[in-house]
Structure 1
């Protein structure tokens, strides 16, 4: 075998082995979702269920009380959709302002915005709860959705870096043709930052779909629970936890995540790599 082919073989073997190592927990979760709950951890080292229990999916989909698991998926989809729209609108507008507009203290405010990335959510959790309680927003999606319309520092930084790679000559040509500032943003910048917007949308979807702390903090009606809260309800400190149903619904909740990833994975790579070309 030629050295060139040998290198390719070694590369593919190493990458394939690493991929199997990373996917093993997901495969274990899938196989465990077909086991009897009492045997999941007793036979944790055995991947193939004996026997296959398909009832875990039916039992898990029944949900709790009058609410099936489909209700929780619908609540999460609505939650994700509103946050997604908020991030795309607010982050792109703020990023355009930092990247293209000149105003007093621009660098200072940009630095302050970047510093908020180092601020743990636990620091602002209690002040936010007090504010939203005073506004009467508890037990609704407002505390979870409204902040998304004021930007997210990570996505703002990502979009700023992307916009800076776009030549300013395009803005000047658009202004000569009669465009105002908003028209430059809407007609010139937005179409050109599609990869970065797609990256923002994908990461927003991932982070919002599996968000547990926010919904637990602000929601207390089962009819408004999200998927992450519903999965947590399968665990019990007083009775036996229904691991089989929880693992089954965990697989169901992963389906949208895998679909989004395989469809839009090229946008993630393109958006992140291109955003780092220019500081």
Structure 2
């Protein structure tokens, strides 16, 4: 029996390792290709390890375009992602607390509408949203990429936080009411500190989605100076002339570093927030 168990465990780990390598291979290929000479990337595409490691792609890529450093694009991405994420966390936590703790007419209807909004494809809303933002004069600015997310437009985050708040004992709310706390006082003094795992989870996902939101940036940002990093990467590819794929891969490699670091540092909160474990100890 012990031998069979060992064989099963060995086979399982081999399968998982092989599957993991297959899944991560495209990412490894991109990273390693960023150290190859740009004109040899596709000639030696079958080889993962570069014959000669060069840093020219990072130097050329960071220099950017038309005297605009790629650092500017990273700053734009950071501004959009951080601002939208902060707005998402604050608005989603407020709405989630109201739905989870406040009793009012139409609460269930609003909660159901929020769940239905999660099922509507973003492509369905794309044209009416663009027309709306154009009439507001927002096209060409960062407002369409930030303001909507400051008003709990992300139903997934509200749903996540509602479930987390439901796991917090209501006795804490009752004790706070006896001490004279209002609903906002209960939210600020009790719910908010306990919601940290759920808020960090929402923050991680929101930051990732905003950092990688190529389509929205393509629709609403029309000046190269304002491009985020995800949109600026396409400038390296020019079907009409030549494309610098080495610089593109180099900057794409740098662009995934913030997401990886955030995931590593906040992994603990991510697991707790998704599991909605509530109070511990």
Matched, 1:238 2:222: no
Once superposed, what is the RMSD of the aligned Cα atoms?
Answer: 1.9
1:160 to 159, 162, 171: 162
CA distance in 2 between counterparts of 1:275 and 1:206 reads 23
1:225 to 224, 227, 230: 227
CA distance in 2 between counterparts of 1:275 and 1:89 reads 21
User: Do the aligned residues in 2 keep the contact of 1:158 with 1:275 (CA within 8 Å)?
Assistant: no
Classify the secondary structure of the residue corresponding to 1:170. Answer: helix
Deviation at 1:130, TM superposition (A): 1.4
Equivalent in the alignment of 1:63: 64
Deviation at 1:127, TM superposition (A): 1.3
Equivalent in the alignment of 2:54: 53
Per-residue CA deviation, residues 118-150 of structure 1 (Å, 9 max, x unaligned), is 111121111111111111112111111100111
CA distance in 2 between counterparts of 1:80 and 1:276 reads 27
Per-residue CA deviation, residues 212-233 of structure 1 (Å, 9 max, x unaligned), is 0111111111111000111111
2:263 to 247, 250, 261: 261
Deviation at 1:51, TM superposition (A): 2.4
CA distance in 2 between counterparts of 1:179 and 1:165 reads 20
Distance 1:12 1:266, change over 3 A: farther
CA distance in 2 between counterparts of 1:11 and 1:63 reads 46
TM-score (norm. length: structure 1): 0.94
User: Do the aligned residues in 2 keep the contact of 1:159 with 1:275 (CA within 8 Å)?
Assistant: no
CA distance in 1 between counterparts of 2:78 and 2:43 reads 35
| Matched length | 277
Distance 1:59 1:139, change over 3 A: same
Per-residue CA deviation, residues 101-123 of structure 1 (Å, 9 max, x unaligned), is 11111111111111111111121
Matched, 1:96 2:97: yes
Classify the secondary structure of the residue corresponding to 1:244. Answer: helix
CA distance in 1 between counterparts of 2:134 and 2:96 reads 31
Equivalent in the alignment of 1:43: 44
Equivalent in the alignment of 2:114: 113
Farther off after superposition, 137-146 or 87-96: 137-146
1:187 to 189, 192, 204: 189
Classify the secondary structure of the residue corresponding to 1:17. Answer: helix
Classify the secondary structure of the residue corresponding to 1:118. Answer: coil
